[in-house]
Amino acid sequence: MKRELQNFQGTLIGTAVGDSLGLPYEGLSRDRVRAFGEVRHRLVLGRGMFSDDTEHTLMLAAALKAHSDDAAAFRRSFAWKLRWWLLGLPAGVGISTAKAILRLWIGFPPHKSGVRSAGNGAAMRSAVLGVFFADDEAKRREFALAACRITHNDPRAEESALLVAEAAALAANRVPNAEALNRLRCLLTTDIMKEQFEVLERTLSEHNHITELAARIGCGRGVSGFAANTVAMALYAWLRHRGDFETAVRTVIECGGDTDTVAAITGGICGAETGDEGIPQAWIDGICDWPRNVQHIREVAATLGDASKPLPGLIWPFVLLRNVFFLAVVLTHGFRRLLPPY
């Protein structure tokens, strides 16, 4: 149980750390990211806040805690959490996710609300599923697809969500790279991901820097939000730097593009392996968010590791206030980008 708790804390805090570190660099090219020097929290006064990547992961964890034995009930629970999340006026919600949640509100059932999108919105929240069902392949697949199809029903998005969940399970169980690659390869179904994975394996065998993979898959100027690209980069960072959370997350952020999501996925997978003890303390301490703060995340992780513990509560008006503040921070950061060195 102690190891499982470390896995849960690692994947949840790892997701939040990657998300909050990557958020200030989102949309910047690789060269512009490098102009800042050291990767650190930069969103507001040298501190970090997290985005929908972490929020969705925590909501999914809560639904999983309540309904880990019933995928249909889990799906309904997560769908309701997404409905209320959108009413909280979150900043930066993805277009596909927003469309799917609006479909939920007008009466579409959760298994039919997803839209045809190959974005990375489902993959970004799947690592915790892999850790929770690390020893149950059938449930891991069933729940990952159930969660994905609420917002994304494109086969490429489904495949990417399954790959992230599988990688997190492999990380939690510390499966060596050779076997991990074989397990991941068995999940490939689409031509694009098969091509990406072939390039990933070749680049990994050559011990190349992650920027080489980025160039080979067409992300030389920045990682796109296309699920196949995002997941390929996250998987490579984990496989190339096993046990080294800091290097894995730092290098994917330095590639630019959709930095918060690719770093959140990388952090979730790597954290499942290292536990929170393997995450730089300065990066954890640099998160300044509320009411979903680091302590809240630890409490959620503790409930996943101990069935007798209740989930920590959230007061919805406080979430709304936080989102108003977060929107102001994001807008201020956007105007700040009009000045050097952006």
**Is 50 exceeded by the pLDDT of residue 47?**
yes
- Average pLDDT on 180-186 reads 98
**Is 70 exceeded by the pLDDT of residue 342?**
no
pLDDT higher for 269 or 333? 269
Helices (H), the chain: 2-22, 30-34, 52-66, 71-87, 95-105, 127-132, 137-149, 155-172, 177-185, 191-205, 210-216, 227-240, 245-253, 259-274, 281-285, 294-305, 316-336
Predicted pLDDT at 155: 98
* Confidence tier at 3 by pLDDT (50, 70, 90): low
**Is 60 exceeded by the pLDDT of residue 324?**
yes
Beta bridge partner(s), residue 44: 47
* DSSP tag of 207: T
- Closest alpha carbon to 230 in 141, 155, 161: 161
CB 100 within 8 A of CB 172: no
Beta bridge partner(s), residue 152: 115
* Tens digits of residue pLDDT in 203-238: 999 999 999 999 999 999 999 999 999 999 999 999
How far apart CA 170 and CA 173 sit, in angstroms, is 5
- pTM for this structure? 0.97
Phi and psi at residue 41, to the nearest 5°? -65, 130
CA dihedral 33, 35, 36, 40 (to 10 degrees): 40
Beta bridge partner(s), residue 119: 226
Q: E strand or H helix at 106, and its extent? A: none
- Secondary structure (3-state) at 226: strand
How far apart CA 215 and CA 160 sit, in angstroms, is 20
What type of residue sits at position 169? A
Predicted pLDDT at 335: 82
Mind listing the domains of the chain with CATH numbers? 2-336 (1.10.4080.10)
